[in-house]
Amino acid sequence: MTPQTVLASLIETGVRIELENGHLRYHSPTPLDDRLLGLIRTHKPGLLHLLEAKGRPISESDDRVVPLPELSGHGFSESELPALRTIYQTTIDKGHALHKCIDAEQAQRWADWLNTDLPDDRECFVIRNREVNCYTVTDEVHPSHNDVANAGDNSM
């Protein structure tokens, strides 16, 4: 697991985690089980870094946290869910995400699901045979592409 997937798991269980005086502090509606406590301890440096980068507490009520659409009935295993949650949330938060899947079949299943459930201004496709690449669709043309974009139908 990565610190991002640990954070996603904590948020999903209703845990609010924050940085206080350089230390992790969590608030939970119920006592944390040994597995979640172990994840927090194992990934403490990464969680500290994430929270320092975000600059404020993260919880389910946070505007940046978008609920993940229903995953049941799509044939995903429990082990796939944390990565899918992270890809989805990262694509929402940052406008892009890239993840190397186990194989081409998994990458295509994930891309198909993400394209169905991401907002209309986000898309996802498979690159290099097994990597899921999610991005934000814009009408803007990158300055380096201006020559191509302005060429139109001009013949040479």
d(CA 146, CA 53): 34
Confidence of residue 150 (pLDDT cuts 50, 70, 90): low
DSSP-assigned states of every residue in 55-91: -S-B-TTSTT-PPPPP-TTTT--TTTHHHHHHHHHHH
The per-residue pLDDT for range 33-89, each reduced to its tens digit, is 888 888 888 888 878 877 776 654 444 444 444 455 666 667 788 788 888 888 888
Pull the structure tokens for residue 143.
Answer: 């300055």
Residue burial 55-90, b: 16+ Cβ < 10 Å; e: rest:
eebbbeeeeebeebeebeeeebeeebbbbbbbbbbb
Distances in Å between the Cα of 31 and the Cα atoms of 14, 28, 34, 69 are 11, 7, 10, 26
The per-residue pLDDT for range 111-147, each reduced to its tens digit, is 998 988 888 888 999 999 999 999 988 877 656 655 5
